Amino acid sequence: MSQTPDQIIRSFCEAWSQGDLDEIMVHFDESAIYHNIPMEIQEGLENIRGFIEGFLTMASSIEFDILHQVTEGDVVMNERVDTLVMGENTIALPVMGIFELENGKIVKWRDYFDMGQLTGQQQS
């Protein structure tokens, strides 16, 4: 039995918490677009993989904690706190994400967050 869009995104977020790049990537369509809104758009699997690999390399752990998630058809929105451990620093980053799926794969993913909180240039 195939997973619902809600289940697919929950599984995707769990893969981040496991630090499993291959499992993260299996959720994307070949033509996917990923946009961390304060950063450059990443298009296609190769670019998305390189970008995510950079995040996974930079942090000793990344945990996605979904606070709320709503689904309408193939669109899933979630409010999360992404906790990144980088060296001696732990950053709890509030994030709003929107995922668009086709045939059970992510075709568009946008995350909205405050870049100042991620870079430590702003107190939360």
Q: Please state the φ and ψ torsions of residue 37, each to the nearest 5 degrees.
A: -50, -40
Q: What percent of the chain is modeled with pLDDT above 70?
A: 92
What pLDDT is stored for residue 123 in this prediction? 46
C-alpha 11/C-alpha 28 separation (Å) is 12
Encoded tokens for 2: 């195939």
C-alpha 52/C-alpha 69 separation (Å) is 22
What pLDDT is stored for residue 2 in this prediction? 87
Question: pTM (2 decimals)?
Answer: 0.90
CATH class given for the domain over 5-114: alpha beta
| b/e per residue 95-113 (b: at least 16 CB within 10 A) | bebebbbeeeebbbbbbeb
Domain ranges for the chain: 5-114
